[in-house]
Amino acid sequence: MICPKCGFSQEIGRECARCGLVFARWRGRETPPPASTPTRPAHDAPGALRRLFRIARWAVPALALLTLFLVLKNSPPPEIEVTPDAAKQAEQKIRAFRSAALYGTGAPLILAEAELNGWLGENLALSGPRGFSPSNSTSEPIIGMVNDAAAALTEGSRVRSSVRDVKIELLEDSLRVYAVVDLYGKSQSLELEGRLRNEDGHLALEPTQGKLGSLPLSSVVLRTAADRIFNSPANRDQLQLPPYIKDIRIEGGRLVILPN
């Protein structure tokens, strides 16, 4: 064999007779390093897209079913205790306020929650065989507002709906309107919460939150619905406040109407 270090020719042995090189160590040094294992790509685009598609294929129907369930599940009505004399008290206050305001000597009209809902129960022209009558014509703006809200929230044009029930819950500085509407043959609950204001002599509601059934509504949907209700030319006349009313607001859980 020939020594790989000094080139000396010799018999096969353990080490070189001339330079003392240990052949085993030399061979170990010349052994090439093991080939590196090829790494897999960090991101497998086709595989990721397939996984995303599988997730979306199940998530989208599940989200649609959840939305439908929330819409069809009516939210519970507010618990408002109305005494037998509440409607009569409210009617007396309203008549006295109207008479005094016309003569310019009126004080603010203040209605508690029970009085307001008692008056609504007596005066609202809810769906029935008699429809609207002259005695309850003051309730027509409220019925129109609820119907327009149902149309806006269901993306329909003046849907054929009839109002079955309306309750108004007075909060600290805002109110929550709860209505049950017969929409396409099914009773559907609708909630709108916001602050009342006088906008150029017209009643307006600045919505803060709402629900269709048990489904919370986004701020975009609420603004669209409010714009459709209060800025519609057909509603401007119905929502015009009498000339003797200066402002209307909610203060401390009571409805306050200020005279001019």
pLDDT in tens, 52-108: 777 877 787 787 887 777 777 888 888 888 887 888 899 899 889 988 887 777 789
Minimum mean pLDDT range among 64-73, 113-122, 158-167, 241-250: 158-167
Phi, psi (rounded to 5 degrees) for 187: -75, 120
Closest CA to 234 of 148, 133, 126: 148
Instruction: Give, as one character, the DSSP assignment of residue 73.
Output: S
Q: What is the model's pLDDT at position 44? A: 53
- Residue count of the chain, please give it: 260
CA distance 236 to 50: 54
Q: What is the DSSP secondary-structure string of 28-72?
A: HHHSPPPPPPPPPPS--HHHHHHHHHHHHHHHHHHHHHHHHHHHH
More confident residue, 41 or 52: 52
Mean pLDDT score, 167-172: 91
Confidence of residue 30 (pLDDT cuts 50, 70, 90): low
CA distance 121 to 116: 9
Beta-carbon neighbour count of residue 69 at 10 Å? 12
CA distance 199 to 249: 12
Q: What is the model's pLDDT at position 2? A: 83
Q: What is the model's pLDDT at position 174? A: 92
The pTM of the full predicted model, rounded to 2 decimals, is: 0.64
Which residues neighbour 79 within 8 Å (Cβ) at sequence distance 6 or greater?
Answer: none
Q: Where are the domains of the chain?
A: 86-259
Amino acid residing at 170: L
Phi, psi (rounded to 5 degrees) for 209: -160, 165
More confident residue, 77 or 148: 77
CA distance 228 to 234: 10
Q: Is the pLDDT of residue 199 over 50?
A: yes
Q: Is the pLDDT of residue 116 over 80?
A: yes
